[in-house]
Amino acid sequence: MTVHTAVPLVALRGVGKTYPNGVRALGGLDLEIRPGEFVALLGPSGCGKSTALRIIAGLSEPTEGSIAWSPTAGSASGESRIGFVFQEPTLMPWTTVFNNVALPLKLKRAPAKDAAERVESALDRVGLSAFRGAYPRELSGGMRMRVSIARALVTEPQLLLMDEPFAALDEITRFKLNDDLLRMWQAMHTTIVFVTHSVFESVYLSSRIVVMAARPGRAFAELAVDAPYPRDQNFRTSSEYATFCRRTSEALEQAMKAGGEP
């Protein structure tokens, strides 16, 4: 699945971020995201995972280093090349599921008919077509997150950035969404960077795990999860999965020591 020789879609070199209050969230972060990859950024809280994601999205400017986009990726500043899923569903409560998903297209002033078709297909992809007229308040937490994912996918982004999207959900919903996400990723041939603090989730989902250490946030170790896709319950219970999880846990433990965690 992963083509390691490919030109990176986006490359962060020596990226650092120091906030005006002096906190150094990132320092010397090197990270390459190649087309078609599913990369997990794994690390303890405070290791700058989310900051790295915001810098890739163009929502935050690095104070050191550079960020380079592949020439085929078009403009670097995001535009519709990037989809972003926040930890919270972050929906507009005052309007319907349909209008929430249509937002990115409306902001780009896409023709209404074209937009409607794309919204329908995005809703279909997350299995919420029947709920297009519902308000976010009327949905469960898992369904709201699906709407959020549909909104991120509606522009068919080259790069989907996800910031601990399932952290607030219960395990059953989380497993279901993990499977659905993998299915969508394979169907759409998109690239995903997924921030998580769960070892199990990172192994189950990703083709590559970047373990981050804190103070300052940086890439500490990298593990290829070269188990084949599609992955399902069988993979979750396999000894292969357990081995990957153990190795990842060890890397995470070392990263935490390196970051000065007790």
Partner 1 sequence: MSEDNSAHSRESGNPAARKKPGSPLPRGRAAIGPDRVLRFALPVVVLLLVLAIWESAVRIGNIPPYELPSPFLILQTLAADRVLLTHSLLVTLLTTFEGFVLATAGGVGLAVLFNQSRVVEYSLYPYAVILQVTPIVAIAPLLLIYLPQHAAVLTCAWIVAFFPVLANATLGLHSVDRNLADLFALYGASRGQALWRLKLPSALPYILGGLRIAGGLSLIGAVVAEIAAGSAGAGSGLAYRIAESGYRLNIPRMFAALLLLSMTGIVIFYLLSLVNYLALRRWHESALERDR
- In whole angstroms, the minimum distance from the beta carbon of 217 to partner 1 comes to 19
In the complex, the residues that contact partner 1 under the rule CB under 8 A are: 54, 57-59, 77-80, 82, 84, 86, 88, 90, 92-97, 103-104, 106-108, 130-143, 155, 169-170, 172-173
**For residues 14 and 58, which CB has a smaller minimum distance to partner 1 in the complex?**
58
DSSP secondary structure letters along 111-147 = -HHHHHHHHHHHHHHTT-GGGTT--GGGS-HHHHHHH
And the tokens for 17? 């971020």
Cβ 190 to partner 1, closest distance in Å?
16
| Cβ nearer to partner 1, comparing 86 with 235 | 86
Nearer to partner 1, 88 or 156 (CB): 88
Element (H, E) at 66: strand 64-69
- Measured CA distances, 55 to 114, 161, 188 (Å): 31, 11, 24
Q: Which pair of structure tokens corresponds to residue 127?
A: 């299995």
Pair 180, 127: CB distance under 8 Å: yes
Cβ within 8 Å of residue 228, ≥6 positions away: 1
